[in-house]
Homo-oligomer: A and B are copies of this chain.
């Protein structure tokens, strides 16, 4: 049996009350006594029974996911995963809500963050493009004792925030490597297209892409990034123009997580020439295109994994534990037609 606080008390030669004060960092215990208790903890290998502790505290972990209001299929998938896990995690006294904010307006993100209080939430996962205002608001959250993870958007491992998501520089590099490998022609131009280039994420992907393309495939050169801004008409126009101006386009990199509009335009105006396409994220649409071999490869971050990872991080921080870095590493997954998991072969 695992030792309890009672055992601890006996081993340390103190009362349960004192053990309790030490365990929960309450004041009024002599330094010497604290150390005696600590020694006993180490000696017995005592670990708090979290079930009992949560029960006693009637503790509920309240986490919020802050997502942009506008978005396409990838965002919808994320939202679905969050809801799904919310349902599952209720059994573990974890309550998860999502909140959509108008992301175009940093001020609104900031206002939302400023309104969060320790009374109503224990941790927040923030998915928002970088801005100094948001960063400051986030810092203030931490000061108020609310735990934070940067979700999907942001930078890997920049304190004091935990980050959950892929390394976008590496993702761009991976895209270049795949595009080069799957593209038969040794020379030509590569179209790079995105919904928008505003965020740091896009910049990083582009950087990694260019770097690797130049290094490994000197024959291929990437065009400046086209931006579609969710507008089909505009997308069609700029893509058509690009194909007209550059007859030697041999590959396309759809850089943004939302790929619908760019893909539509490329498929419609690239015709047979748009053969080697690399895009991001798994959605109904991209999977369909992968199956029909219109897309060569997808670069994916698993929505289920990122959600679980974010929750684990928030919970670990709430409990004052140090999260296990190795466990929370989000892999850059590569999806081909071949390793696309078939729909539900079992485990029902």
Contacts and interface: CB of A to CB of B under 8 A. Distances in A.
Interface of A: 2, 47-52, 54-55, 84, 88, 90-93, 156-159, 162-163, 167, 170-171, 173-174, 176-178, 181-182, 208, 212, 302, 304-305, 313, 322-329, 331-334, 336-342, 344-348
B346 A156 contact: yes
30 contacts: A47-B90, A47-B91, A48-B91, A49-B55, A50-B91, A51-B52, A51-B54, A51-B92, A52-B55, A55-B55, A156-B345, A158-B346, A162-B346, A162-B347, A163-B346, A167-B345, A170-B339, A170-B342, A173-B339, A174-B338, A177-B338, A178-B181, A302-B331, A304-B326, A322-B348, A323-B347, A329-B341, A333-B334, A334-B334, A334-B336
Contacts of A328: 347
A76 to B, nearest CB: 15
A172 to B, nearest CB: 9
A322 B181 CA distance: 42
A347 B163 contact: yes
Given A47-B91, A84-B324, A324-B84, A346 B170 contact: no
Contacts of A182: 181
Copies of this protein, total: 2
Contact of A333 (B156, B170, B331): B331
A300 B208 CA distance: 23
Given A92-B50, A181-B181, A346 B325 contact: yes
A234 to B, nearest CB: 31
B348 A325 contact: yes
A305 to B, nearest CB: 8
Contacts of A208: 338
Nearest to A167: B341
Contacts of A340: 170
A279 B344 CA distance: 27
A95 B154 CA distance: 36
A54 B49 CA distance: 11
A51 B336 contact: no
Nearest to A347: B325
Given A55-B55, A341-B331, A347 B157 contact: yes
A83 to B, nearest CB: 12
B333 A333 contact: yes
Given A167-B342, A170-B340, A333-B333, 7 more contacts: A51-B93, A157-B345, A170-B341, A173-B339, A177-B336, A332-B339, A334-B334
Contacts of A54: 51
A322 B51 CA distance: 22
A210 to B, nearest CB: 13
A93 B1 CA distance: 11
Contacts of A329: 341
A327 B304 contact: yes
A84 B323 CA distance: 12
